[in-house]
Structure 1
Amino acid sequence: MTEAVAAVDLGATSGRVMLGFVGHNKLSVRPVARFPNLPIRTPDGLHWNILELFRHVTAGLVAAVHEEASLASAGVDSWAVDYALLRGGRMLGAPFHYRDERNLAAVEAIHSIVSARQLYAQNGLQYLPFNTLYQLEAERDSGHLRFADSMLLIPDLINFWLTGKSFAERTNASTTGLVDITTGEWNEALISRLDLPSRLFAPLVSPGSTVGTLLPSIATGLGMSGNLNIVAVGSHDTASAVVAIPATTSNFAYISCGTWGLVGVELEHPVLNEASRLANFTNEGGVDGRVRYLHNVMGLWLLSESVRYWERSGETIDLTTLLAQASAVSSTISVFDVNDPRFLAPGDMPRRIAEWLTEHDRAVPRSRPEFVRSMIQSLAAAFSDAVCRASELSGIRVDVIHIVGGGSQNELLCQLTADLSGVPVLAGPVEATAIGNVLIQARAQGFATGSLEALRSLVASTFAPKRFDPVH
C-alpha cells in the first residue's frame, strides 16, 4: 500500500506540483502542474510575481487532490535568500528578485560594520551580494524595514498563506546570513549589531515538522478538505535535492544543477577556516542537521538566458538540436569564468561572454553551437574545480559525482564534468528536489522511516542514474 503527498517545488525560472507515492520499497513521483516563474521589472527594480506564483501553487494543489483524494500532506520548497516583508499579515510590496541591482551599496554598508571574515566565522556563508542580510540593508531607504513586523522567506510565505502560521524553516533560514552556524538559531547579537528589528524573525522549525493545516478560507475557496497537513520540508530546494541523491557510498560529491549549479559534499560539521572563506565555500543547513558544504556556480542560467536573448528576435530555438550541434563542435573552444559577476543579471549573455573572452585575449565563438559549447565546457570546468576544492577543504575523498536536477539531462555537461574531474559521474534523478520533498513528508507522516542513507537507498533502487566514465 502506498500513501500520497504533494511536493510544491518552486525554481527560479519555473515551478511544479508533483504527486509523490511512497510505500514499502516503493517510490514514485509524477507532475500534476507545471508553470513558469517569470520576474517583473517595475520602476523600483526586479520583483517576483509572487501572487501569480501562489495562484499556480493553489491550482496545482487542487489538481493533486483531484487526482488523489486521500492526499496526506503537502510541502513547499523554493530558491533561497529572497523574502517578503509583512505587517499585520499583509505583504508590503512584491518581493525583490535576488538578481536586482540594489544590493551592491548594501554590501559595503554591512562590511563597514562587520567584516567579511567576522561574518564567515558567525554564519559560515559564501559571500554572495544577494544574501538576505545584504538585501535587508538595502531595504532601509524604502522605510519598509521600520514598518514591517515580520519577514518570511518565499516557501515560508507560501506556507503562511496556506496555514496562517508564521515560521522559518531552518535549511532556508541558514542562507540569510543571520543564523548562528554553531547553534542553528537566529544570531541575535549579529541582528542587533546590524540594527535589524528582531521582531522580523519568525520561530525556526526543522524539516519534518508538521506546521499546520489549510486555513478554512483557503480550503473553502479551493474546494479542498481543511485537514490537509502542511509539512516543513527542506525548504531550500537544494536541501531537498540532496536528500534524494542516490548515493550508495559516503564518498560522494553532488551537483544540484539547474539555474544554479550547487557543487559540494555533505558533512557533519561546518568548515570555517580562512582557506574555506577565501575559496568562497558555504556551510548551509541540511536535513537532519547535516551541513551542505558547497560552492555556488552560475549554472544553466547562462544557457537559458542566452536562448531567451536569441529568441527575442522572434526566432524559436530548438535546444535539443542546439546541444547536439554543440556536442559535435570539434574546434578548440575558449573557456571563461562562469562566476564573473557580469553574468548575474538578465540580458545579452552572449555579448557579455564575448566581452569577457576579448578582455582575456581568448577567441570568441563564431556561431551559436560554439557559444553553447563554450558555456557547457566552462560550466564543466567550474564544476570540476569546485569538486576538487570541496574535497581538499573538507577532507572527503570523492569517488563519484552525482549530478541531479535538470542539468543531469545534459549529456555533454555530464561527460565533460567526468572528463575534467577524472571522476565518474552518475546523472539523475531529474526531479531530485521534488523527490527529497516527498521523502521528508513521508517520513514525517510515518510511511517512510530511517536515516538519510535509508531514504537514499530507496531512491537508488527506484531511479537508476546514468553513468558517465572519464574519457582520458
Structure 2
Amino acid sequence: MKQYLAIDIGASSGRHIVGRAEGGKIVTQEVYRFPNGARQENGHLVWDTAALLSSVKAGIAAAFAACGKIDSIAIDTWGVDYVLMRGEEEVLPCYAYRDGRTEQAIAAVHEIVPFAKLYERTGIQFQPFNTVYQLYADKCAGRLEGVTDFLMIPAWLTYKLTGVKAHEYTNATTTGLVNAETRAFDKEICAALGLPEHLFGETVQPGAAAGRLLPEVAAKVGGEAEVVFCASHDTASAVLAAPVEEGEPYISSGTWSLLGIEQSAAHTDAESRANNFSNEGAPGGRFRYQKNIMGLWMLQSARKELGMGFAEAEEAARACPCKALVDCNDEIFLAPASMCAAVREKAGAKLSKAEVLACIYRSLADCYRRALAEMGGKAGARFSALHIIGGGSKDGFLNELTARAAGVSVIAGPTEATAIGNLLAQFLAGGEIGGIYEGRELVKRSFPLQTFEA
C-alpha cells in the first residue's frame, strides 16, 4: 500500500501529514508540526528559510520513523513569496509578503504597465504584495544583478530536496506575471519591467514529478521517496479537496475567506477588475475565479476583546435577537484598535456584547449572500449549493445563517482541506485515482460533511 506525505506550510505553522487510500477512503496521520513566522531584520519582515528547510527535513524524517516507507512527497505553502538564487547560493534576506518595501514599486510598475493592462493579461487582482511588485522592488534595489534563478517558496523547498528547479502553475499565477491565455509567464510584461527573461521558465502542472530525494537528503531523513508537485499554492490545494460538482461555488473559510468557482477560462474584463475578482490557477490549467471577502477575523477579534471562547460567543449570538447589520468589507474592520467599537460605530447603535457578536454573525452571512449573488451574476448562474471548506467550516451557526441568508444549501467540510488537496494531487500522480472528481468523491466518503438547508 502506497503512503504519501503532504507537507502543508502556512504563514504561522507547518505540518507533515501522511495519507493513503485504504478501503475506498483517505486515511491520514499527522506526524510532525512546527512553528513558522516572519521576523524583523534590519527594519524588514523576512522569512528564516534555513529554519524552514530544516523543519521540512525534520518532518520527513519523522514520517519515515513513524510509517516505515513514504512513496512520494509534495509541498504547499502560501503564495506570492519567493527565493532568489545566484548559482547555488540564496540571495538573502527572503522578504515576507507583509513587508512594506513595495510601496514605491507599485506606482512605478503601473506607470510602465497600467494596472488595467496587467489585469487584462494576467487576471490577477491588485494586492500590494503581489510578486510582480516585489520583484520590481528587487530590481530597483539591485538585488536581481547576477541572479540565476527565481523560485516560489514551495518550488525552492522542492529544489533543495531534489536538485530540480521548476515553476508550478497554481503558485506561479500568484506572481501576477502569468498570462491568463497562454498559462505561461508573460514575456512582454517581464521585458517591459526589465525583469530578466531567463528567470521565467515553463510552468508544470500539479502531479508532475520533480525527482527523487537527493542522496544526501535521503541519508539525513532516513529513507528514499519521489517528490512531486502538488497544487503548491495552499488555496489551490484546499479547493482541489472541495467536494464540489462542476460549477458549484466554494468558500475557503478562515481568518480571511475566498469565494469562488472553477472555470476553464479566465475573466479579465473591466467589470471583473472593478469588482476585484481574481483568476488564480487550478490544476489542469483551469482557473479559480474568486474574490477575497471577510472571514472569521471580525469574530476572532471581538471574541479576544471580550475574553470569550468560541462556544460561549456562539451561544450568546444565537440567543440574541439583534438584527443590526454592518458592511463587513468596510476598511474600518481590517485592523481596528477595538473591533467592538468599530461594529458599534458602523451599526450606529450602543450594542451590548451579545448584540455585537450577533451583528457580526448576521453581517458575515449577509456579506456571503451579496458576494454569492455577485458571483452568480458574473457566471450567469443561480446557485443552489455552497461548499464551505477549511477551519471556518466548523462554525455551525454561521453556516446556518449563511444558508438562510443566501437561500442555498451549505455543505460544510472538510476542515483540513489543504493537506487533503495536497494528498489528492499525489494520488493522481501515483495512479490511485483517475481524475479530480474521482478524488472529490473519495473526499465525500472519507470526511464528515454537514449540510445546512436554507
Structure 2 distance, partners of 1:415, 1:41, is 41
Distance 1:47 1:24, change over 3 A: same
Q: Which residue identity is paired with 1:440?
A: A
The answer for unaligned runs of 5 or more in structure 2 is: none
Partner of 2:414: 429
Q: 1:269 aligns with which of 262, 265, 270?
A: 265
Contact 2:366 2:402 in 1 (8 A): yes
Please state how far the C-alpha of 1:257 moved relative to its aligned partner.
1.4
Give the equivalent residue in structure 2 for 1:468: 452
Q: Deviations over 1:391-426 (max 9, x none)?
A: 111223322110111111122322222222111110
SS at match of 1:38: coil
- Whether contact under 8 Å (2:325, 2:360) holds in the other structure is no
Residue deviations 1:311-354 (CA, integer Å, cap 9, x gap): 9xxxx8644434444444443444233363872xxxx6453673
Match status 1:288 vs 2:284: yes
Change (3 A) 1:384 1:211: same
* Counterpart position of 2:274: 278
Taking the aligned partners of 1:138 and 1:380, their CA distance within structure 2 comes to: 39
Give how far 1:141 is off. 4.4
* Alignment of 1:246 onto 2:233: no
Q: What displacement does 1:366 show?
A: 5.1
Match of 2:220? Answer: 221
Match in the other structure for 1:416: 401
Q: Output the amino acid matched with 2:234.
A: D
Pair 1:277–1:372, CA change in 2 (3 A): same
**2:247–2:262 Cα contact (<8 Å) kept:** no
Report the counterpart of residue 256 of structure 1 in structure 2: 252
Q: Give TM-score, length-normalised by structure 1.
A: 0.88
Q: What CA distance in whole angstroms lies between the structure 2 residues aligned with 1:101 and 1:353?
A: 28
Say if 1:302 and 1:349, in contact at 8 Å, map to a contact too. no
Stretches of structure 1 lacking an aligned partner (at least 5 in a row) = none
Quick one: structure 1 residues 374 and 115, their matched pair in 2 at CA, closer, same or farther if it must change by over 3 Å? farther
What residue in structure 1 maps to residue 75 of structure 2? 76
Q: Amino acid of the residue matched to residue 443 of structure 2?
A: V
Residues 37 and 443 of structure 1: CA distance in aligned 2, closer, same or farther (over 3 Å)? same
What are the within-5 Å matches in structure 2 for residues 26-425 of structure 1?
26-222=25-221, 224-225=222-223, 227-247=224-244, 249-304=245-300, 318-338=309-329, 340=331, 343=334, 349-351=336-338, 354-355=341-342, 358=345, 360=346, 362-363=348-349, 367=353, 372-425=357-410
SS of equivalent residue, structure 2 residue 94: coil
TM-aligned CA distance change 1:88 to 1:324, over 3 Å: farther
Q: Tell me: CA distance 1:198–1:460, structure 2 relative to 1, closer, same or farther (3 Å).
A: same
- More divergent stretch after superposition (210-219 vs 177-186): 210-219
TM-score, L = length of structure 2: 0.92
Identity among equivalent positions (%) equals 36
The answer to whether the 8 Å contact 2:256/2:294 transfers is: yes
Aligned residue in 2 for 1:444: 429
Contact 1:271 1:394 in 2 (8 A): no
Q: Distance in 1 between matches of 2:90 and 2:369?
A: 42
Separation in structure 1 between the aligned mates of residue 99 and residue 148 of structure 2, nearest angstrom:
24
